[in-house]
Amino acid sequence: MSSPEQTAIRATGLSKQFGQLRAVSDLSLEVPRASIYGFLGPNGSGKSTTIRMLCGLLEPTSGEAHVLGLPVAGNASRLKARIGYMTQKFSLYGDLSVRENLSFIASIYGLAGRRARERINELQRRYDLVEQQTQLAGTMSGGQRQRLALAAAVLHQPELLLLDEPTSAVDPRSRRDFWACLFELAQAGTTILVSTHYMDEAERCHYLAILDRGVKVADGDPEELKRETGMHVVEVLGGLVGELQETLSDASDVFSVTQLGISLRVLLPTRCGEPEARVRALIDPVDRGARVRLVDPSLEDVFVSATRSPSR
């Protein structure tokens, strides 16, 4: 176990119950400082609930969490000044300008006068908001509002930044630029916990936890997760894609079949000693000309193997 100086977040047995719904179940995790740690999972997997427990907005039903060396229970006020939080939904004031929003957030965190002006100027330059500083936030594009929300979340220079699906409403270029900003923050020492359901974003994280229906089903760095997926991945290229998919899906030892364009991605448990030969035997009666090859697992394969039931 890492020392408190090396760990930004440590949770043990964290659970949250809403009536009959168990939103998070017995979650334990450890997030190293100055890293980007991702929560990957579909809607309803417990990502947002966990983030709210970690920043003190929700009290867990059971378990405990330590954030930045402090137990969250009883220390929400002390941690507030050290944590930045960016919600999925844009939560700043649409009828205030960019600069007015940032000035208001600065006042909440006790920044005033020259110190506040210098910090706001710095963030407007860094996040390309200088030309928009007098524009009402409600009239900005999705990418611009995202940069403004990030500027507001880091205005007080938090040690920990919690991001709840921050790129769900922006285009791919804005997502890419946003992640460049996150890497700059991590390199400067900020710890970042980000929830997402995008595979390409999960690939960018230093470490990753996959959540499914409130349960952590896998964790590790992305490359480690791929190595330990427990599945062979076989790619099938053929003209009769629909018929091949139906045939493979009916096989009891095939875990999953996914169509990607004109190819199929077939997952078989590693106990299958000759996966290519097995797939070949299944598809030959349908299309002897189809090509078969063993390929490396992707993060999507990891996600499927960790969260889905077999095809049969």
Maximum CA extent, the chain: 77
Amino acid at 70: L
Stretch 52-76: mean pLDDT:
96
Stretch 71-89: mean pLDDT:
93
Answer yes or no: do 85 and 119 share one domain: yes
Between residues 184 and 171, which one has the greater pLDDT? Answer: 184
Q: Which of 201, 226, 251 is the last residue of a domain?
A: 226
Q: What is the pLDDT of residues 228-259, one digit of tens each?
A: 999 999 999 988 999 999 999 999 999 999 99
Give the C-alpha distances (Å, rounded to integers) separating 205 from 36, 151, 196, 209: 5, 21, 11, 10
pLDDT over threshold 70, residue 310:
no
Tokens 């939560």 belong to residue: 91
Sheet holding 231-237, edge to edge: 256-260, 263-269, 231-237, 291-295
CB of 39 within 8 A of CB of 212? no
Average pLDDT, the chain: 94
Q: Which of 178, 203, 226 is the last residue of a domain?
A: 226
d(CA 146, CA 148): 5
CA atoms within 13 A on the CB side of 18: 8
Answer yes or no: do 186 and 118 share one domain: yes
What confidence category does residue 312 fall into, taking pLDDT thresholds of 50, 70 and 90?
Answer: very low
Answer yes or no: do 153 and 87 share one domain: yes
Q: Which DSSP letter does residue 138 get?
A: G
In total, how many domains does the chain have?
A: 2
Q: What is the pLDDT of residues 149-180, one digit of tens each?
A: 999 999 999 999 999 999 887 888 889 999 99
Main-chain dihedrals φ then ψ at residue 194, nearest 5 degrees: -130, 130
d(CA 56, CA 129): 31
Sheet holding 160-164, edge to edge: 83-86, 160-164, 191-196, 36-40, 207-212, 215-220
**CATH label of the domain that carries residue 99:** 3.40.50.300
**What integer pLDDT is reported at residue 42 of this predicted model?**
87
d(CA 213, CA 262): 32
pLDDT over threshold 60, residue 1:
no
Enter the tokens of residue 102: 């940032």
Answer yes or no: do 49 and 135 share one domain: yes
Q: Considering the domain boundaries, does residue 172 fall inside one?
A: yes
Question: DSSP per residue over 165-214, as a string?
Answer: STTTTS-HHHHHHHHHHHHHHHHTT-EEEEEE--HHHHHH-SEEEEEETT
